[in-house]
Amino acid sequence: MTVAVFFGCAFIAFGPAFALFIFTIARDPLRVIILIAGAFFWLLSLLLSSLVWFIAVKASNADDTKLQKGLLIFGVVFSVLLQEVFRFAYYRLLRKANEGLAAISDEETSPISVRQMAYVAGLGFGIISGAFSMINILSDSLGPGTVGIFGDSQYYFITSALMTLAITLLHTFWGVVFFEGCEKSRWWVIVVVVCLHLLVSSLSLMNPLYEGSLPPVYVVTVGMAVWAFFSSGGSINNLSQLFTRKI
């Protein structure tokens, strides 16, 4: 029976990422490369931040619970900042690569636009961070038991999956908006992205108070989706065009 929970959680957490990969990434080798490299950059940021956090925990007094909680919050903030630094570094790298691609291309323009790269890179960040936050939980969801014997919420698995889904989508949207901000040198955009990332990550610290963490995260996700849509060339006009054509 717990197989149902496993597949349910897996579909929730990775269904959208899977669909996006299948329909927009898989058939283009260049996009696959950018996706994997994006995931690698995120992993590097995780490696560095976990190293710092590990040293901090080892160097501190393990019995001081207040200090340990403070360290956890510091770790979250530090990790978020580091992820954004690596997103920027990846943007710089892709810009350089784009110039190179344009130089060797037949048509004098790059085979992939910066917006497309932004989307693919963001999805790469999202998939790998989702995988890292969900894989261990998924293996425990196979059962036979479920969380709750110590009075914890029984919705632990499904809310974790929903959180992972939101984080994956958010990374994609942040990637799109962030790259757009870098392209147009609108630094406030980057600041907002970093702040929203900080907000979402600190919201997860509220768990297991899921009512307090999940809805705000989904509000942010929807808002980011709209923003990403407009910043990647979408408009109300396009939307209405789509619907009128369809009718």
Please, which of residues 150-209 interact with another protein by CB under 8 A? 150, 152, 154-158, 161, 165, 176, 192, 195, 198-199, 202-203, 205-209
Which DSSP state fits 110? -
Residue 148: φ, ψ to 5°: 140, -10
Rounded Cα gap, residues 104 and 126, in angstroms: 30
- Counted residue by residue, the chain has a size of 247
173, two tokens: 């949207």
Do residues 227 and 181 make contact, with C-beta atoms less than 8 angstroms apart?
Answer: no
Which residues, 23 to 52, sit near another protein by CB under 8 A? Answer: 23-24, 27-28
Amino acid at 157: F
Of residues 153, 117, 107, the one with CA closest to residue 37: 117
| CB 48 to another protein: min, Å | 20
229, two tokens: 């849509």
Residue 97 in the binding site for another protein (CB under 8 A): no
Instruction: Between 21 and 41, name the residue whose CB sits nearer to another protein.
Output: 21
Which residues, 115 to 134, sit near another protein by CB under 8 A? Answer: 115-116, 118-119
Which residues, 65 to 84, sit near another protein by CB under 8 A? Answer: 65-66, 68-69, 72-73
Of residues 173, 148, 171, 172, the one with CA closest to residue 158: 148
Instruction: Between 36 and 133, name the residue whose CB sits nearer to another protein.
Output: 133
Among 100, 142, 143, 187, binds another protein (CB under 8 A): 143
Residue 10 in the binding site for another protein (CB under 8 A): yes
Among 43, 140, 186, 225, binds another protein (CB under 8 A): 140
| CB 247 to another protein: min, Å | 14
